[in-house]
A and B are shown apart, each in its own frame.
Chain A
């Protein structure tokens, strides 16, 4: 059986590289055109090419999302753009447009993946699109584990399932809240997250909800760690992590967690769920739930009861750029305050997290007891051998 694909998002070239190094088998990215997530710093063609070359060297893949619901004005240059992506050897396109699928399959060598924007909830949707030779279908997030098992059994197409990250409260592609209330079209990348706002119930012109009992119908993020084995056994082809706008730290932690689980499963190792959850906690910045895997959501999956979003502010210290073995000095790109003589957690692509201690902080030949300016390249002394792309994280006590 083909090993399941772990598919991760990437908002820029740096995160693309990190995602692949930390264990994603493929990444999906947005181009400057036709892509949702207008806030995500989308890729220019030049960057896409760099990303594709990087991925292909590692025998990994790059998919480009072209998943906006196109209006007439968006149709210009569509074919040209797709051909350009084909020329730079992009592996596949994620789209919700029937017309685009037809173009991809007739004019390019790329794969066509049906976006979740279509709300594919059943095998008949796949049957409909099979006429167009699509290669893969991204299922709607509303599918239960049983639905996924059945659909996978009935479908000859590759099935991709969301396993982690943000959940729309509405069926994807069907939500006009943001568009109606703020003129920002979620289907073209402008979502204002109106589902997270506070609402009151009104009857006969009178508000009937109490001040502290507001109505919000946003969803908690999804975490499918407990369902990965089921999904592998169901014959799902790809496991997708959401979040093209998420930080490098978040990505690496989440990818790493799923990577360990998947590899352990395929290597017939015993599964250390605690470790995977611990790894994940390094990246989590929002509360998570089970989504629809068990059927319709319960109150535990609703954000209604948790207005205080917790954010791991300051947990991500920096990324290692290089390491001098003789001097035991590492150059790191700093993200948050670092303190001398403190212990930190080291996250690496391959090994389990370990504790490291640092004993010097140097910026431009000057020693510091602490340093705070983000994005500066500083040097730190650390006896443990560090490698490029290693992540230094605030020390936390795992449960």
Chain B
């Protein structure tokens, strides 16, 4: 699923923070292990919690699931049934449930299914446990089998692999039938997660101190009702969105929480954020912050969001203890740094810290979440900072901990929507065109633009590029003796946060060497008429490929299904491009001196007047009508970009058309109404080749 994040109109909002997934899972285990009637309220719904509940049920838990509440009735042991547990993508669940199984179902085969993206060796931390107790844990083809029991009276666990191994043993050893000792070594980072485990156990009546050696003797979980507190890692996303846009009030956070991520408040305040704690509410106002200093040791989940946010601060930010980012749902360090490279953000990575340097970001294209919910969140922040348009792929990863995110942030005036409409680009012939609602603006350049609504200088483009999403229409065909000059121009232009629309394949080749392919639309006008060729060009990772205006609607539709496509949907399309100075030669020959502005030509036996242009790149002749695809807009949903041209079209008309289209896409206008209003504009709109294919093979003479 590809989603796009957009700012509609931000507003003050009061939002209940989604509850902590970590606490939810811990509470569910405690409730299960108690074997008694318990209630866990305000749970965090998401894939991990759902998987946890399913697994616990497989192990014999009796409970009823409500919207945000689980009511436990007790436990009854499963007999005569193979136990198959699907832990999906939850490392926490996998690690918590292993010792539980060993205690509840000793010496029998237990089968585990695990999602592919879970780490390669997810149970490293239990190596000592398995070896000391001769427990068999085998990886089979697509699943794991566990068989054994805890036999030794002393269990050793290495906390350096993950605190989750420590937590798993703490939770389960309470119910071991004999006194037992847990020896914890190397527990440094993420210590607070273990404290969270102990805190939850305490709520269920089991009080233990975190020491290197812990004795379990005659402990019992009690029947309890608990309320899960808000999650600071998820709240961090909302806080940053507020800092970047508007005030929000967050509810449901515990100000004395043990969650390591609650550190975010201090981190942000130190950098100048306005955060106010008022009774049970946290109020955050829009503010401009200095660089952050973040020690990730106990709040590793803050990493991706704060790293993204750091790009928009006044001074550089530093992140210490970043190495554990590598061992999360994805290798978050590599993923984030790759994203930074892709979007052109600057950073310095040393052994001690990662420094992120504030950078103006312009990126248009798709960024992958690597199926990691925290990366999705970081990409949402990048979307807000970015001048271009980001499509977040594998957005569904958000369901792991924050499935109601789209609904929640719509309260703040943001929209997260599956990308099912084309981006609209609008040509600029007068500066007023920038007032037109559009996903991007198409400008001509003083050099290498053959025809465009208006040509701009480098400095004008530079200035505009920080305000708007700019697409430069470099549609000249390039002579060999211009190649050097072109390379210099492209070198210069590549530093600007803009995208390019090009016709010449040589120019495409130069651009591919200088800028990311995702910033290039290859639009050779007449050349791309079938899906094979379209696909072949798009295989370079181009933003999209421009399809010919001379093929049928059906062909356009078919091609748009297989390749990211671009189409001029409202334009006086060119029908002749030549290097010849036809008008100049004519004027010289007949000694004429008429000006070329508003010039048209008419074939002597016909009535149509065709616009004609001439400049140093040659002569271009256009159709006498606007090829109008708006009449069929519903067939163009799969197009990635559609283009409203400004050449020969009055700015007021273009504005009207763009507003109507924008309103149609926002569902403010029905399809019928939209079409009716377009047709009422009184323009010479025609279907071009949409329905009628050319007659190209005549009978033999």
Contacts and interface: CB of A to CB of B under 8 A. Distances in A.
Given A174-B525, A188-B694, A213-B590, A194 B478 contact: no
B457 interface: no
A38 B576 contact: no
Nearest to B581: A296
Given A69-B529, A184-B696, A187-B526, A125 B505 contact: yes
A217 B578 contact: yes
A72 B555 contact: yes
Contacts of B606: 181
A122 interface: yes
A123 B623 contact: no
A121 B578 contact: no
A215 B507 contact: no
Given A102-B536, A217-B582, A304-B586, A177 B575 contact: yes
A188 B696 contact: yes
A348 interface: no
A111 to B, nearest CB: 19
A174 B526 contact: yes
Contact of B575 (A100, A171, A179, A203): A179
A198 to B, nearest CB: 5
B602 interface: yes
Interface stretch (B244-252, B325-333, B592-600): B592-600
B506 A199 contact: no
Contact of B695 (A184, A194, A204, A217): A184
Interface stretch (A54-62, A91-99, A274-282): A91-99
Interface in A247-305: 292, 296-299, 302, 304-305
Contacts of A97: 530, 532-533
B348 interface: no
A237 to B, nearest CB: 17
B586 A215 contact: yes
A184 B692 CA distance: 11
Contacts of A41: 700
Interface in A59-108: 68-75, 96-100, 102
Contact of B576 (A72, A176, A189, A297): A176
A170 interface: yes
Of the candidates B479, B531, B623, B696, the one having the most CB atoms from chain A within 10 angstroms of its own CB is: B696
A1 interface: no
Of the candidates B482, B585, B606, the one having the most CB atoms from chain A within 10 angstroms of its own CB is: B585
A321 B575 CA distance: 47
Nearest to A167: B580
Interface string A160-201: 000000000111011111011101110111100011011111
A311 interface: no
B148 to A, nearest CB: 55
Interface residues of B, number: 71
B594 to A, nearest CB: 6
Contacts of B575: 175-177, 179-180
Contacts of A72: 529-531, 551, 555, 558-559
B537 A124 contact: no
Contacts of A296: 579-581
Interface stretch (A19-27, A143-151, A328-336, A337-345): A143-151
Interface in B500-554: 504-510, 525-527, 529-533, 535-537, 548, 550-552
A349 B444 CA distance: 55
B483 interface: yes
Contact of B527 (A69, A147, A207): A69
B536 A169 contact: no
Contacts of A213: 590
A199 B586 CA distance: 12
Contact of B694 (A171, A175, A184): A184
Of the candidates B479, B693, B700, the one having the most CB atoms from chain A within 10 angstroms of its own CB is: B479
Interface residues of A, number: 79
Given A71-B529, A142-B579, A147 B479 contact: yes
Interface string B570-612: 0001111111111001101110001000111111111001000
B481 interface: yes
Of the candidates B483, B532, B689, B700, the one having the most CB atoms from chain A within 10 angstroms of its own CB is: B532
B598 to A, nearest CB: 6
Contact of A99 (B481, B504, B535, B581): B535
A324 interface: no
Nearest to A211: B604
A205 B480 CA distance: 39
B623 A202 contact: no
B701 interface: yes
Nearest to A126: B506
Contacts of B507: 124
A177 to B, nearest CB: 5
Of the candidates A100, A118, A180, A185, the one having the most CB atoms from chain B within 10 angstroms of its own CB is: A180
Given A102-B536, A150-B481, A202 B621 contact: no
A189 B344 CA distance: 46
B116 to A, nearest CB: 32
Contacts of B532: 70, 75, 97, 99-100
A344 B599 CA distance: 53
Contacts of A174: 525-526, 574, 576-577
Interface string B449-490: 000000000000000000000000000011111110000000
A161 to B, nearest CB: 13
Interface in A112-147: 118-125, 127-129, 142-144, 146-147
A73 B697 CA distance: 13
Interface in B296-323: none
A121 B506 contact: yes
Contacts of A374: none
A179 B580 contact: no
B601 A202 contact: yes
A175 B695 contact: no
B577 A170 contact: yes
Of the candidates B573, B578, B605, B692, the one having the most CB atoms from chain A within 10 angstroms of its own CB is: B578
B698 interface: yes
Contacts of B574: 174, 176
Nearest to B623: A180
A123 B483 contact: yes
A214 interface: yes
Contacts of A214: 604
A39 B530 contact: no
Given A75-B532, A176-B526, A201 B550 contact: no
B698 A38 contact: yes
A128 B506 contact: yes
B498 to A, nearest CB: 20
Interface in B250-286: none
Contacts of B530: 70-72, 74-75, 97, 99
A99 B606 CA distance: 39
B578 A128 contact: no
Given A72-B558, A171-B477, A203-B600, 13 more contacts: A39-B701, A97-B530, A98-B533, A128-B508, A142-B579, A151-B480, A176-B526, A177-B575, A181-B603, A194-B603, A199-B601, A297-B579, A305-B589
Interface of B: 477-483, 504-510, 525-527, 529-533, 535-537, 548, 550-552, 555, 558-559, 573-582, 585-586, 588-590, 594, 598-606, 609, 619, 621, 623, 689, 692-698, 700-701
What 4 pairs between A and B have smallest CB-CB spacing? A124-B506, A99-B532, A188-B696, A185-B694
18 contacts: A38-B696, A68-B696, A72-B531, A75-B532, A97-B533, A98-B533, A118-B527, A171-B477, A174-B574, A176-B550, A184-B698, A189-B696, A190-B697, A202-B609, A207-B602, A296-B580, A297-B579, A302-B585
